[in-house]
Structure 1
Amino acid sequence: MWSASLDERVRESHAEKDGQIFEYSNPPADTGHPGHDFNCRCVQIPVLDDVVNLKSEETELSYQAAEPNKTGKMDLDELFESSIGGGGNKSFSNFGGVNSELITLAKESIGLDITDWQHSIDESSIRHILKQHGNEKAENKRGQRAVTKKDILLLPLVVSAFDSI
């Protein structure tokens, strides 16, 4: 999936591609892969069909493989809304179990068995992310884009396609 910085410096042709999904072996003909154009700050985010299904008509995410734990806990969308509405730190979301590749890597590299661990985030962490990285003007000065709800909802995808630990 193409992810553009969407600030005042982004090329119009790149902004139009933000959120579009394409096969890695078949990048857009006019630009190639995100980040390959001169001074391009766009990135490609891997999209796994069994983890996330992006609905083009409403751009809302529906999770399939990484179902949140519903036993008294919140899904990411509910947690996000709860987080921006108040304080405290009683709510959280387990948005997926640790996959076997990460379990093996953790055991081999640091000797830690994380077999039964869950990927989680709490409401305080979401507020921290938004406070420290959610201001468009501040992030533009850093050459970044602000974190949004859409980014938070992509957490299951991000942790399932890690680069390194």
Structure 2
Amino acid sequence: MKIVLLGYMASGKSAVGKQLSEKLNIKFIDLDFYIETYEEASITSIFKTKGEIYFRKIEAKYLEQLLNLPEDCIISLGGGTPCYGTNIDFIKKKSKSFYLNASISTIFNRIKGETSQRPLVATIGEENLMEYIGKHLFERTHFYSEADEIVTVNDKSIATVVEEISALL
């Protein structure tokens, strides 16, 4: 079985994926890290040098590769992955998916000090960040909500979220 974790940036997909992997004793793959490995460049660098359209094309290609692997695994997606092309349909067809739902304020508090490492918010000042997150999250929630299960994360520990997901499998 493929387990896919999706949601907005800083919702905890990678952290939850790593602990869930340990609990279930199956492989964990972070899609962004996978892309960086095969493209031999950081996501930020790919965005800067080749643009978002190129990134979204390779993202879909690598997502398909991972969802077609023969072994069970947990895959954490980038925040935009389910929102482009037919990615969400492919995710629904090939996996059990979980939307890690974080509030605007939770996301803001998690990313406000690390925006330079996140291409979509790198140029947005902290004074405009909350508004940006709100608008962007509003645009993406429709896609995220198509996941098989929705798990609200906000102030919960990673271990608690892992237990909730485990109970839903």
Q: Could you state the TM-score of these two structures normalised by the residue count of structure 2?
A: 0.30
Largest Rg, 1 or 2: 1
Q: Could you state the TM-score of these two structures normalised by the residue count of structure 1?
A: 0.31
